[in-house]
């Protein structure tokens, strides 16, 4: 049984999409894999409610209680390791993680970012996209590296930018694609269909177009 730990900071809609998809697709029986824990760096994260609803153990490791980034990373790693995870998912986790933390989980730590990386890393991605006048925007799932939003790309989902889009409408449409993309990537990683090899993503037993969702 592959063990998944999800890290969140806020509303947890991507966490909820993973839990919902795992339930609908019967991951425990078919993959097999399951989410064994949810960890948040904020005690007021709404996403903790998704874990409670489905009976998934949840822990809060508040970053503000630690004297340094390194101390927080160490406390977070200890909480994660208590669940012996095979996969760690940053599902809306809004903290930059240090090099030693990333190295500890290399090849099993993935993130979802609301842009078509490598363009628009960091925050305010939808505002950046509108300001740049791009015609295509979307979301990316990638392995986490020491470079913020710079790890090897696993898969992407693209949408067209409409002439009357605002940050809010664009964000809402991208989020819908995130909810499709992230659970697929988590499942593929658990199934061994994707793997990080020498800094690049190796793909096994997936159709050529599986890693790109367009429309």
Handedness of CA 23, 6, 150, 126 (dihedral sign): positive
Q: What is the mean pLDDT of the chain?
A: 96
- Sheet of 2-8: strand order equals 58-60, 33-40, 2-8, 87-90, 109-113, 136-143, 153-160, 212-214
Indicate the CATH number for domain 114-215: 3.40.50.170
What is the pLDDT averaged over residues 175-185?
Answer: 97
Q: Which of 115, 170, 104 is nearest to 139 (CA)?
A: 115
What is the pLDDT averaged over residues 91-108?
Answer: 96
What residues contact residue 168 under an 8 Å CB cut-off, 6+ apart?
Answer: none
- The reply to whether 114-215 shares the fold of 1-105 is yes
Would you say residue 170 has pLDDT above 90? yes
Instruction: Give catalytic status of residue 113 as yes or no.
Output: yes
pLDDT for 198 equals 94
- Tell whether domain 1-105 is in CATH 3.40.50.170: yes
What is the pLDDT averaged over residues 80-103?
Answer: 97
- Domain limits, the chain: 1-105, 114-215
Instruction: Report the percentage of the chain scoring pLDDT > 70.
Output: 100
pLDDT for 64 equals 92
Q: Which of 95, 109, 101 is nearest to 63 (CA)?
A: 95
Helix (H) or strand (E) holding 188: helix 167-191
The pTM (predicted TM-score) of the whole model is 0.96
pLDDT for 57 equals 97
> 32 - beta bridge partners?
none
What is the pLDDT averaged over residues 157-176?
Answer: 97
50, 83, 113, 142: which one is catalytic?
Answer: 113
Query: pLDDT digits over 30-80, tens only?
Result: 999 999 999 999 999 999 999 999 999 999 999 999 999 999 999 999 999
Q: Which two tokens stand for residue 197?
A: 């090899």
pLDDT for 213 equals 83
What residues contact residue 34 under an 8 Å CB cut-off, 6+ apart?
Answer: 1, 2, 3, 4, 22, 27, 28
| Res. 208 pLDDT band, cuts 50 70 90 | confident
Q: What does 11-76 look like in DSSP terms, one character per residue?
A: --HHHHHHHHHHHHTTHHHHS-EEEEEEEES-TT-TTHHHHHHTT--EEE--GGGSSSHHHHHHHH
pLDDT for 215 equals 66
């Amino acid at each position: 049984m592959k063990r998944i730990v999800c890290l969140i900071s806020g509303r947890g809609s991507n966490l909820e999409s993973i839990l919902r998809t795992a339930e609908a697709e019967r991951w425990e029986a078919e993959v097999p894999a399951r989410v064994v824990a949810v960890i948040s760096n904020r005690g007021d994260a709404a996403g903790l409610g998704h874990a409670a609803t489905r009976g998934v153990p949840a822990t809060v490791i508040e970053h503000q209680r630690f004297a340094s980034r390194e101390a927080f990373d160490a406390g977070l790693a200890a909480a994660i390791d208590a669940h012996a995870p095979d996969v760690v998912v940053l599902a809306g986790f809004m903290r930059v993680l240090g090099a030693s933390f990333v190295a500890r989980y290399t090849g099993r730590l993935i993130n979802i970012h609301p842009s078509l990386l490598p363009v628009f890393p960091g925050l305010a991605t939808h505002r950046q996209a509108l300001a740049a006048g791009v015609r295509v925007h979307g979301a990316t799932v990638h392995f986490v590296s020491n470079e913020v939003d710079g790890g090897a790309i696993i898969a992407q989902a693209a949408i067209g930018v409409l002439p009357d889009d605002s940050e809010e409408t664009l964000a809402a449409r991208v989020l819908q694609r995130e909810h499709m993309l992230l659970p697929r990537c988590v499942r593929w990683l658990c199934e061994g269909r994707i793997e990080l090899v020498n800094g690049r993503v190796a793909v096994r037993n997936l159709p050529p177009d599986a890693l790109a969702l367009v429309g």
